[in-house]
């Protein structure tokens, strides 16, 4: 009997701990997920704005190199490359040249942007 009481307390504490943990995750976990959604929407919005700036720049200048767009947007080479790749896949811009400093981008003929 004495041993049953001794072993009962840790089990109760474990069960209570699990319940408290579950409730905490349910309450605070959902709030965190909402914040992540907002951040994702903001990033998408900034990305679309930057892609629009690229298209406007290309329409104005006729052509541009990766470095020109880096300076325009104030973002990294990798980010510019990703934006240009997306615009290319969307059929909005066309890459002239294959690699290196000779690569330029223009608005693709027949683009509706």
Mean pLDDT, consecutive 10-residue segments, the chain of 113 residues?
A: 57 86 79 63 84 95 92 92 93 86 84 49
105 CB-contact burial (10 Å; exposed 0-12 / middle 13-18 / buried 19+): buried
- Whether 113 contacts 55, CB under 8 Å: yes
Is 6 domain-assigned? Answer: yes
Is 8 domain-assigned? Answer: yes
Structural domain harbouring 34: 2-107
Task: Copy the structure tokens of residue 55.
Answer: 């298209």
pTM: 0.62
Closest CA to 53 of 84, 96, 95: 84
Is 77 domain-assigned? Answer: yes
Is 113 domain-assigned? Answer: no
């Amino acid at each position: 009997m004495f041993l049953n009481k001794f072993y009962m307390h840790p089990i109760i504490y474990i069960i209570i701990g699990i319940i408290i943990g579950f409730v905490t995750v349910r309450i605070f976990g959902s709030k965190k997920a909402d914040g992540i959604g907002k951040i994702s929407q903001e990033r998408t919005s900034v990305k679309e704005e930057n892609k629009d700036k690229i298209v406007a720049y290309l329409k104005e200048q006729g052509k541009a190199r990766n470095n020109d767009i880096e300076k325009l947007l104030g973002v990294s080479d990798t980010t510019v490359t990703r934006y240009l790749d997306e615009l290319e896949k969307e059929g909005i811009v066309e890459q002239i040249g294959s690699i290196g400093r000779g690569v330029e981008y223009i608005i693709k003929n027949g683009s509706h942007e």
